[in-house]
Chains A and B, each alone.
Chain A
Amino acid sequence: MSPSAPSLHDKLNQLRQRFIEQLPARLQHITEQWQQSRASTEAEARLGPELHRFFHSLKGTGRSLGFERIALLADQGETALNEPTPSAHVIERVFVQLAEEQQRLQSLPGQQRALAALNSVEFAPTPIKTRSKRQRLIYLCDDEPDQVGQLLHHLRCFGHEVVHFEDTDAFFNAVISRRPDAIIMDVQFPQGNTAGTETLTSLNKLTGERLPAIVLSAHGDFHSRLSAVRAGCNGYFTKPVKPLDLMLAVDELTTPLDDEPLRVLVVDDEPEVAAYHALLLEQAGMVVQQVNHPSDALTALERFSPDLLLVDVYMPVCSGEELANIIRQQPEHVGLPIIYLSSETDSQKQLSAMTAGVEAFITKPVVPEELVSAVQLRAERLRLLRSLMTRDSMTGLYNHSTTTDLISKALAQAHRDNTQHAMAMIDIDHFKAVNDTHGHLAGDQVIITLSRLLKTRLRMSDIIGRYGGEEFVVLLKGVSDERASELIDGLRHDFAQVDFHAGGAHFRCTFSAGISSFPIQPSTESLRLSADQALYRAKHQGRNQVVTSTEQDDDGFPTARL
């Protein structure tokens, strides 16, 4: 951040302190005005606007400074004043509550807590930026410390930032000032059997959002469950909770839907027409690139990698049909949906265009909604197909062939840019024994857990693939083998702490890893081989460790794998 950041921060904190300090005098003054206004209708008419403005200003300033409770009370006051006959009872109660809130904020712990909650948030974007895209901020609110320790450990193990609250008030204030990605909430608290879910309900009402929440309860009774449903909770766990199950539920809850916009390449020799179609699609939230010469289409395909191609049929040099044929002759574009645009209404001619493997025909002038829906439908279908083809169905990681392709592409790029990458081959130790002893479901659980761990802890730009069975491969971009080894060893350490449950038994698992680096190993194949040899050494030396490949591996030392 720029050096002026702390000064804004300090300035706002000063303003917050002054706001709290000034509040008693303002309250005192306005209470007097209120008393006077009740003396006569004349006084009421005269002082009404001031009372109104007091609440209104308190609401706006309070909310801007992050004092949400003050704003809420001020809003209640304002609403009461707007009634044809304002209820003295309500307004006086608001005064009392404002004074109480002021005292809470004034008291040292209250103020510190409020400021601490505020300081971690707005106006200081740094803490949010340091979290990687897959890391989540999780609030855990539970007053029983013995349960919490293990949960905290597991959640942090997966790279999540977890904040623990012992009472609902502190939790409430924290949510107001900084929204978490997920909430784990105990139902029972000393102040009430459903105090936890009630807090969630009032937060949902106040914020107008549905906060993603999972509820923990000592009871599975109907009343507790009902209170959770009413609070809009996404999950319900009865204690004792298996940390891993909870972790997976949190993961599911916070994984964003695939909202990457659809990409469309428009090929039309008339720039204005292309721009018009591009605009229609962009308004529907798609990313569009235009090409005005068919000869540029291939390079654009390569660089832009669209989900769909929108082509004008009549173009000089090369017709849309010819272009479609050229594109279809390249294996990597066989599945790319192509939509033709033309003023051709003769269905016979349209049919002949279809033989080139075109998905649809839209006649100009286009009906905007028709164009958008035709494009959306086909592009989304291709996306789904692509993901089925490239990803491993159990873990959602890239499958073997896609991983290899992606790594080869990354290396080709790295050759040009002179960057270094590291590869890690990871293999779960004694995996067969897990399957044999605890069953395949337990084995699947281990694989899913490791894949989630890799996904949450590594960067989005890293390539993570499941190579088959219990073997994973990772390409860590722009990283030395030393750094890669540290990173993977950190994961190894945390993975070893995860408790797995199968039936009544619980067990732990470890993995071994081998690291190799580019450009010492210049190709995908040699990287893989070298990482594999290092992995073999790690297994041989007793497993549960990370070994970095050395030059020796390639110099004729015995490398045979059994």
Chain B
Amino acid sequence: MRILVVDDDPLAGEMIGALLEFQGYDVLLANDAMEAISQLDAHDTIALIVSDMHMPLVSGIELLNMLREQGVTLPFILLTGDTPDETLRQTPGLSACLQKDAALDTSLGHAVAQAVGE
């Protein structure tokens, strides 16, 4: 299964990618929302999106809204440096909202499995 990881911090993107690859997923990286959109256009095999919240120009949640407006219904997991608040969690169309912390490897694995309905 192929996952698109969107993060403006290349190191963070790589780390998230490494965690997901370790769990057996195929990973594509994008540095911002624009790159994410073009990756999605180029690869129709992408089954899920994991995106950072705070990115320049277009935030993770704005990216989600953009995609939903375009009719893209792929599961979408949002990552944030803060403890996610309730309103963010409740965003329609969001599969999960996770905090970036040392437990990310397990929490992300669970969220991905849940989002794709395993």
Contact = CB atoms under 8 A, between A and B. Distances in A.
Interface of A: 4-5, 7-8, 11-12, 15, 18-19, 22, 49-50, 52-53, 56-57, 59-61, 63-66, 68, 121-123, 177
Contacts, number: 69
A60 B100 contact: yes
B9 A64 contact: no
23 contacts: A8-B21, A11-B18, A15-B14, A49-B56, A53-B54, A57-B12, A57-B52, A57-B54, A59-B81, A59-B82, A59-B100, A60-B9, A61-B9, A61-B15, A63-B81, A63-B100, A63-B101, A64-B102, A64-B104, A65-B15, A66-B102, A121-B102, A122-B103
Nearest to B103: A122
A12 B18 CA distance: 8
Given A12-B15, A15-B15, A64-B104, A56 B81 contact: yes
B8 A60 contact: no
Contacts of A22: 11
Contact of A64 (B22, B82, B100): B100
Given A4-B22, A22-B11, A53-B54, 16 more contacts: A8-B19, A49-B56, A50-B56, A56-B54, A56-B81, A57-B8, A57-B54, A59-B82, A60-B80, A60-B81, A63-B101, A64-B102, A64-B104, A122-B102, A122-B105, A177-B102
Interface of B: 8-9, 11-12, 14-16, 18-19, 21-22, 52, 54-56, 79-82, 100-105
B15 A64 contact: yes
Contacts of B11: 15, 18-19, 22, 61
Contacts of B82: 56, 59
Contacts of B102: 63-64, 66, 68, 121-122, 177
A63 B105 CA distance: 12
A8 B15 CA distance: 10
A553 to B, nearest CB: 53
Nearest to A125: B106
A123 B16 CA distance: 12
A61 B12 contact: yes
Nearest to B105: A123
A11 B21 CA distance: 11
B103 to A, nearest CB: 7
